Amino acid sequence: MKIEKDKIVHIDYLMQANAKEENEGEGESSHTGFLFGHDRMMPAIESALDGKEEGDEVLVRLAPGEAFGERREELVETIEKDKFSKDISFVEGSEFEVPGANGNPETILVSKVTDTHVTLDRNHPMAGKELSCEITVREVRDATKLEIEHEQPMEDDSQCGCSGH
């Protein structure tokens, strides 16, 4: 079955920064499933998968604008430590999540800590990087009406997480 709009697609993928060509092949593959044709995946990846079938392998190279965007310096902020509760301890290199403007969680990196200030970076860790994504198509199937309605794959109708079904 070919990948097209309203198909549930399951893929294995490995995404890496192209700048680390010597690390090509390293890293762990991840798995995801999504409803094709509903903007649930990066457009460049959806475009590369269009018309593919189970077992197909695809290599997609993504410019920063096709992936996680360019790094934006306005998303890096240095704040005086005394603006935070004394109970908060910042560790350089650690990350934490806060609710984002659109309601989705936003990850913040603690990029620098001094005695008086903390520097927080709201850029995605892969922002500004060219990426390569090795993809293997594992499954392609018709989406159910409920999956199309909720724009996500579900193993059975009990997984929609809403009432009224």
81-105 as b/e, with b when 16 or more CB fall inside 10 Å?
eeeeeeeeebeeeeeeeeeeeeeee
Residue 158 to residue 155: CA distance in whole angstroms: 8
Nearest to 16 by CA among 149, 115, 137, 125: 125
Residue 123 to residue 106: CA distance in whole angstroms: 9
For position 156, what pLDDT does the model report?
A: 52
| Most confident listed range (47-56, 81-90, 96-105) | 47-56
For position 44, what pLDDT does the model report?
A: 95
Q: Which helix (H) or strand (E) holds 105?
A: strand 105-113
Q: Which amino acid is at 94?
A: S
Of the two residues 49 and 162, the one the predictor is more confident about is 49
pLDDT at 160 over 70: no
pLDDT at 23 over 60: no
Residue 58 to residue 19: CA distance in whole angstroms: 20
The answer to whether the pTM exceeds 0.85 is no
Angle at 27 between CA 21 and CA 49, to 5 degrees: 80
CA dist list (Å): 41 to 38, 105, 110? 8, 17, 28
Residue 11 to residue 165: CA distance in whole angstroms: 28
pLDDT, mean of residues 55-74 = 95
What is the phi/psi pair of residue 139, to 5°?
A: -155, 140
User: What average pLDDT does the chain have?
Assistant: 88
State the pLDDT confidence band at 114, using cuts at 50, 70 and 90.
very high
Residue ranges and CATH numbers for the domains of the chain are 7-68+127-155 (3.10.50.40), 73-121 (2.40.10.330)
pLDDT at 78 over 80: yes
- Residue that the structure tokens 């935070």 belong to: 84
For position 129, what pLDDT does the model report?
A: 94
For position 106, what pLDDT does the model report?
A: 87
